[in-house]
Structure 1
């Protein structure tokens, strides 16, 4: 099944509060590969568009702000999953992976915030 079709089906299911879980690592790996391929296909266009549009530092800032907002929201969602995993006594390996993802996500939001500040500082200095 294509990623687009699977995404549409999962979006429809999510509206009813349903989510699909993959009990087999082969199925999970297949979905991860599809997600990666789709992201890289889309990313090829991003570099070309960014080169055309980002003429100065302030052109970069709104996009970085958007990314930071999405990352922060996702990290806070992961933090909730982590709390739930701890409260339910789920396996320590899962909790460790979630902790790593949450920590990395928070680090990423800090780096993105620094990038936003850098765009403002560089613009002010010019």
Structure 2
């Protein structure tokens, strides 16, 4: 399906609070590729902006906290998806992949919390 048509369909669905599901791995792969390209294009200037903005350890903290909060919220959402998948008896492959994602997401939030603590510790040590 052409990007323009898919975008219009996605926009219309989002307006009603719906999300589209993609029935083939070809459609999923195309969407995943599109997401990656969009993210990498948007992040092209991140290193330059971060270098200018993050002049010390404490300046890094707000961004890391924001990311941790968003990831934690998403992981908790995915825990609900996992519970629903289990309760509905979805295929074990789906449940196993969701378990992996949830576990990894929690590990990521722990690492991000450690990074936030490190910014505060570095700030305190630098005094």
1:92 aligns with 2:89: no
Runs of 4+ that moved beyond 6 A? none
- 1:104/1:125 Cα in 2 relative to 1: closer, same or farther (>3 Å)? same
Number of aligned residue pairs = 124
Q: Which runs of 5+ in 2 are unaligned?
A: none
In the other structure, the counterpart of 2:125 is 125
Alignment of 1:13-52 (within 5 A): 13-52=13-52
- Cα separation, 2, equivalents of 1:62 and 1:9: 35
In the other structure, the counterpart of 1:107 is 107
1:64 aligns with 2:64: yes
Q: TM-score by structure 1 length?
A: 0.92
Q: Which runs of 5+ in 1 are unaligned?
A: none
- Cα separation, 1, equivalents of 2:57 and 2:10: 38
Q: Provide Cα deviations, 1:26-46, integer angstroms capped at 9, x if missing partner.
A: 010000000001101111111
- 1:111/1:91 Cα in 2 relative to 1: closer, same or farther (>3 Å)? same
User: Which secondary structure state, in structure 2, belongs to the residue aligned with residue 43 of structure 1?
Assistant: helix
